[in-house]
Amino acid sequence: MMPLRMTFSFPTTTLFGAGTLVELPKRLQSLGVSRPLVVTDPGLLPTTAFQKLKMVLDTMPGGWALFAGVHPNPGEMDVIEGAAKYRIENCDGVVAFGGGSALDVGKAVRLLVNRPGLILSEFDWRETWTGLAPCVCIPTTAGTGSEVGRSSVIIIEKSRRKAVLFNPALMASLVVLDPELTVDLPPKLTAATGADALTHCIESFTSPSFHPLCDGIALEGIHLGVRALPLAVSNGQDLEARGHMLVVAAMGAVAFQKDLGATHSLAHPLSTVCGMHHGLANALCLPVVMRFNASRKPGLYRRVGLACGLDIVTVSETQADNATIEFIAELFRKIGIVPGLRPHGVSEAHVTEMTPQAFADGCHATNPVPVTEEDLRALYLQAL
């Protein structure tokens, strides 16, 4: 039955196109930012993307400051140290520059600037936040879509779990999607981050709540992504494919304001327990979860397959699901992702440690079919 009330919200202003980075100083000025703190990770510093950012920001009369201490799968300390740098350097806004890790920290730094001493593990998503500093998000990977999201994924030190800090106030003031900034991203990371974006589109489209706006965006994201991702992996300089993947990533994150599913619940402990890249973790689990879901909800993936361009209108529900799942699994193989958790260092002992964490993760609550803790364990074992 259709719910009576829903909130549909797609508000982030987004500049798209090769070379749009040059607009940054002017845009910062109009946001009232004269001295931004750039939040990034050390891996970005030697890239041409960072050189381009530096050249553009060096024109700012008030200067700029740098916090390059973000870790992959960032934790509370990254946010605390970023906020300390912001205060010491007398900044008045944030430029979050990098992959999801840097964007998540950049967005969250403003919470601690606004309220020093805030314990992130006690963050309350219902609270109303006002007066957060402006933040421009500039992704250099095309995966998480954190730039258009309302959350930051941060590991809480005490529990060693990934917490999704959600609050509309965390949204960026402006997003710059410039494909020239992603051309240096190596094929492996292009593949893994792109798999994350596709997983967002597929999980959100098939999650059961009523959100036709997100559903439409997710399907178009799948349509663009399955074509652009292999091109971006095989030729990193392909600006059109890179641009499409940036848009797919943003579309995936807009779509998953609807919901995610069990793949993300399995993926989060793979990062916290095994240190695996988030996108790779999703890629290794998605086909297994799709098979599980399709076995309980036949026909679930037909429209996903149609968006992939498969000729499956007239085949049976089971055939449509199988063709779609095989297409996605083959796509991941084609972009160089070696299937199976074991080749990536995961063992049965890890599965035992990860299973309760995956069950405690909220994403599977909106999986197309319910999952038990035992199901999640079985899915990990199948994915091994």
Ligand X SMILES: NC(=O)c1ccc[n+]([C@@H]2O[C@H](COP(=O)([O-])OP(=O)(O)OC[C@H]3O[C@@H](n4cnc5c(N)ncnc54)[C@H](O)[C@@H]3O)[C@@H](O)[C@H]2O)c1
Binding site for Zn ion (CB under 5 A): 196
Contact 351, 372 (CB under 8 A): no
- Which residue type, as a one-letter code, is found at position 27? R
With CB under 5 to 8 Å by kind, the binding choice for 190 among ligand X, Zn ion, none is none
With CB under 5 to 8 Å by kind, the binding choice for 182 among Zn ion, ligand X, none is ligand X
Q: Is 260 a residue that touches ligand X (CB under 6 A)?
A: no
Residue 291 structure tokens = 């098979």
Q: Is 47 a residue that touches ligand X (CB under 6 A)?
A: yes
Query: Which one of the spans 14-22, 99-107, 212-220, 344-352 is the region binding ligand X (CB under 6 A)?
Result: 99-107
Q: Is 187 a residue that touches ligand X (CB under 6 A)?
A: no
**Distances 373 to 61, 125, 179 between C-alpha atoms, Å:** 56, 26, 41
Q: Is 194 a residue that touches ligand X (CB under 6 A)?
A: no
CB of 47 to ligand X, least distance (A): 4
Cα-Cα-Cα-Cα dihedral sign, residues 179, 182, 186, 192: negative
Query: Which one of the spans 7-15, 37-45, 289-297, 371-379 is the region binding ligand X (CB under 6 A)?
Result: 37-45
Q: What are residue 87's phi and psi, to 5 degrees?
A: -70, -45
Q: Do you know the residue count of the chain?
A: 384
With CB under 5 to 8 Å by kind, the binding choice for 143 among ligand X, Zn ion, none is ligand X
Strand partners, 14: 175
With CB under 5 to 8 Å by kind, the binding choice for 12 among Zn ion, ligand X, none is none
Contact 2, 227 (CB under 8 A): no
- Of the candidate residues 20, 167, 173, 182, the single one contacting ligand X (CB under 6 A): 182
Site size for ligand X, by CB under 6 A? 33
Pick the closer one to ligand X by CB: 101 or 206: 101
Contact 363, 260 (CB under 8 A): yes
Q: Treating both helix axes as pointing N-terminal to C-terminal, what angle do 278-296 and 187-206 enclose, rounded to 10 degrees?
A: 30
User: Within 10 Å of residue 157's Cβ, how many Cβ atoms?
Assistant: 13
207: exposed, middle or buried (Cβ count in 10 Å: 0-12, 13-18, 19+): buried
Using DSSP's 3-state secondary structure scheme, residue 189 falls into helix
Using DSSP's 3-state secondary structure scheme, residue 354 falls into helix
Cα 308 to chain center, whole Å? 21
CB of 358 to Zn ion, least distance (A): 14
Query: Which one of the spans 40-48, 61-69, 225-233, 310-318 is the region binding ligand X (CB under 6 A)?
Result: 40-48
343: CB partners within 8 A, 6+ apart: none
For residues 122 and 113, what is the distance between their CA atoms, to the nearest angstrom? 16
Pick the closer one to ligand X by CB: 140 or 207: 140
Residues 268-327 that bind ligand X (CB under 6 A): 278-279
CB of 362 to Zn ion, least distance (A): 13
- Of the candidate residues 79, 135, 172, 185, the single one contacting ligand X (CB under 6 A): 185
Query: Which one of the spans 9-17, 44-52, 114-122, 330-338 is the region binding ligand X (CB under 6 A)?
Result: 44-52
Q: Which residues lie near ligand X (CB under 6 A)?
A: 41, 43-44, 47, 49, 72-73, 98-102, 104, 140-141, 143-144, 146, 149, 151-153, 162, 181-182, 184-185, 189, 193, 196, 253, 278-279
